[in-house]
Structure 1
Amino acid sequence: MSLRRLYRQHSTAVLFACLAVFWGTSFVAIEVGLHYVPPLYFAGARYAVAGAVVFAYAVATSDRWLPSGRDEWLVVTIAGLFLIGAYHAFLYLGELRVSGPIAAVVISLTPILTAAVASALLPSNRLGVGELVGLGFGLVGVVVLVAPDPTALELGSIIGVVLVFLSAASFAVGSVLTRPFDSDLPLVSMEAWAMLLGAASLFVGGALRGESLGAVQVTPIAIASFLYLTFVSGVVGFLLYFELLDRTGPTEINLIGYAEPVVATLASAALVGHVVEPNALVGFVAIFVGFGVLKRDAVREFVVDDVPVKNDGYPDAD
């Protein structure tokens, strides 16, 4: 194996671990920040700033930053409304009622929901028996989270889990709706436009919800939460995501969703003293098994296949 290839493999693992930490801790940062800032304005401000930074990066580094034609404008609009706007609106509203680690577990259902939505909307993506089994495991995991003890149900927690579930569903719908469109717009440029459009939709949602800027409490903790979510989880996190997507492909990068709940649990215990209940762990295992069944072929290839990749652009060197 070449030294450069070995370096690339190890650096990919390091980037993956960094992204898991940045995105896993974001669930806790959201939970903390919501004590001081109304949810939709909080999410909107975060992505307005992050979108501006990513947009400047796209202009400086990409060969094209402006969408052209109906398809590309549809893609950035769908991404903005679903992948940024609706996803974060439901997530932030849900985290008013459930902890960050619970939200991270529910969000890990996203790849399974994406397959289900694709099956419903795209004729070429029908689910087989294995896929249905995987979807079933995922739904069982969510049910375990919602109702660990039917005699002690808390309405607030149920509503919180449902809202976060709608967040995952929004991301799944957005991911599927963007597939039929052909676009040569660089990913970083599309993400910048999606962030800015999503931020605008979140501000509109906040106004319709009756949120007030007067309710914002400017404290060191609120500022730290906002800066971390905007620049570390947002800007740096998405740039890492693009790099890993290019290196590993969409199936492997989906595995990041199963590292996030672990990071969120550890961070929540360390920072805010939350202890995750056993039902959350059971729910997470069920969702992870569901993903493994659903993507069994791709995961098997990712874990087992050790055949050197040819034409990877790195010459072999002893």
Structure 2
Amino acid sequence: MVRDTLWKILPSTPFLFVLLATFWGTSFVAIEVGLHHVPPMLFAALRYDLAGLVVLGYAAYTTDRWRPRGRDEWAVTLVAGAFIIAGYHGLLYLGELYVSGAIAAVIVSLSPVLTVAFAALVLREGRIEGLGVLGLAFGFVGVVLVANPDPGALGSSATGIALVFFGGASFALGAVLTRPFDTDLPIATMEGWAMVLGAAMLHVAGAARGETLAQVHLTPTAVASFLYLTLVSGVVAFLLYFELLDRVGPTELNLIGYLEPVVAALMSWLVLGEFVDVATATGFAAIFLGFALLKRDTLADLTARVVGERSRSYT
């Protein structure tokens, strides 16, 4: 296949994993920078207008179908566009008007925890009990620690954290709602159309907020942020995601969400001079512990497999 030819020269899976975490982790800082020049909904919409067209071009070149067919294929595409593209990014961009990209990345790292919870509630995939309940509790405690609530100072920061939290919840719910659809639609085709449809929804939301192109300040910084988010954190990163999804599966790939905040915090410090405080770092640790408790069996199997593969490589 053309896709196999394009990807066979790439380096090892761990390198791609770190590369994807870097692209997505830096995107939180790029969003924060770009929002000084472009209204949030319009920013997200324009990003996915272009990214969607590029991914659809990639799908047309590498797959046998560049558009969905039938009710189920259009339905799964619409769900992904509404929840994973429009809902998640719209709320994330709005939230980053009030909180830093590093804090937003920590809140978004709760998404894998919420995915497990939504799967149990919506799809009845297993029951959350015992240590799983404790894991869910740790995840929410982590968000509270990041929020660091001060009764005398609740305001824009709490608003931003709430918006990002619901954005992450939208992403998690979208990931769960797409599971029941059993289709042969290529992932790249679905993702490209989801981006285009999600961008259209973001344009509508932006118009409802009164956002217009006249409010865009076309500076070199704005252009650089937009191009990086669209082409690197958008197109290239999603194509890396498709490849890694094939290589390692969704559970192991979820772990990338816990490397992204580290990258975002480092970039916030290097680019913006912002530091992550102790409360935020503690909250992130609590969220990761919650995920580890919820997925303890899967992580134990993954660890055993990795250790076994390394042991064989030395014999």
More deviation, 217-226/10-19: 10-19
Q: Pick closer, same or farther for the CA change 1:250–1:71 going to 2, 3 Å.
A: same
How many angstroms does 1:65 deviate by?
1.8
How many angstroms does 1:142 deviate by?
0.4
CA distance in structure 2 between the aligned counterparts of 1:182 and 1:124, rounded to whole angstroms: 16
CA distance in structure 1 between the aligned counterparts of 2:135 and 2:167, rounded to whole angstroms: 20
Counterpart in 2 of 1:134?
135
1:109 matches 2:110: yes
Counterpart in 2 of 1:188?
188
How many angstroms does 1:126 deviate by?
2.5
How many angstroms does 1:89 deviate by?
0.4
More deviation, 169-178/282-291: 169-178
Counterpart in 2 of 1:282?
282
Counterpart in 2 of 1:51?
52
How many angstroms does 1:308 deviate by?
5.1
CA distance in structure 1 between the aligned counterparts of 2:142 and 2:31, rounded to whole angstroms: 23
- The secondary structure found in structure 2 opposite 1:291 is helix
1:161 matches 2:148: no
Counterpart in 2 of 1:93?
94
Question: Is the 1:110–1:168 contact (alpha carbons within 8 Å) kept by the matching residues of 2?
Answer: yes
Counterpart in 2 of 1:118?
119
Counterparts of 1:59-78 in structure 2 under 5 Å?
A: 59-78=60-79
Counterpart in 1 of 2:265?
265
Counterpart in 2 of 1:312?
none
CA distance in structure 2 between the aligned counterparts of 1:258 and 1:123, rounded to whole angstroms: 26
Q: Pick closer, same or farther for the CA change 1:223–1:9 going to 2, 3 Å.
A: closer
How many angstroms does 1:154 deviate by?
3.5
More deviation, 268-277/115-124: 115-124
Counterpart in 2 of 1:243?
243
Question: Is the 1:29–1:225 contact (alpha carbons within 8 Å) kept by the matching residues of 2?
Answer: yes
Report the AA paired with residue 21 of structure 2. A
CA distance in structure 1 between the aligned counterparts of 2:225 and 2:297, rounded to whole angstroms: 39
Q: How many residues align?
A: 304
TM-score by length of 1: 0.92
How many angstroms does 1:111 deviate by?
0.6
Question: Is the 1:118–1:126 contact (alpha carbons within 8 Å) kept by the matching residues of 2?
Answer: no
4+ residue runs over 3 A deviation: 7-10, 306-309
Deviations 1:262-312 (A, max 9, x none): 000000000011011110000000000001111111111112224459xxx
Report the AA paired with residue 45 of structure 2. G
Identical aligned residues as a percent: 57
CA distance in structure 1 between the aligned counterparts of 2:167 and 2:68, rounded to whole angstroms: 26
Question: Is the 1:111–1:172 contact (alpha carbons within 8 Å) kept by the matching residues of 2?
Answer: yes
5+ residue gaps, structure 1, are 1-6, 310-315
How many angstroms does 1:134 deviate by?
1.0
Counterpart in 1 of 2:34?
33
Counterpart in 1 of 2:217?
217
CA distance in structure 2 between the aligned counterparts of 1:115 and 1:286, rounded to whole angstroms: 16
Q: CA RMSD in A?
A: 1.9
Q: Pick closer, same or farther for the CA change 1:64–1:277 going to 2, 3 Å.
A: same
How many angstroms does 1:8 deviate by?
10
How many angstroms does 1:153 deviate by?
2.8
CA distance in structure 2 between the aligned counterparts of 1:287 and 1:38, rounded to whole angstroms: 30
Report the AA paired with residue 71 of structure 1. D
TM-score by length of 2: 0.93
Counterpart in 2 of 1:176?
176
More deviation, 247-256/129-138: 129-138
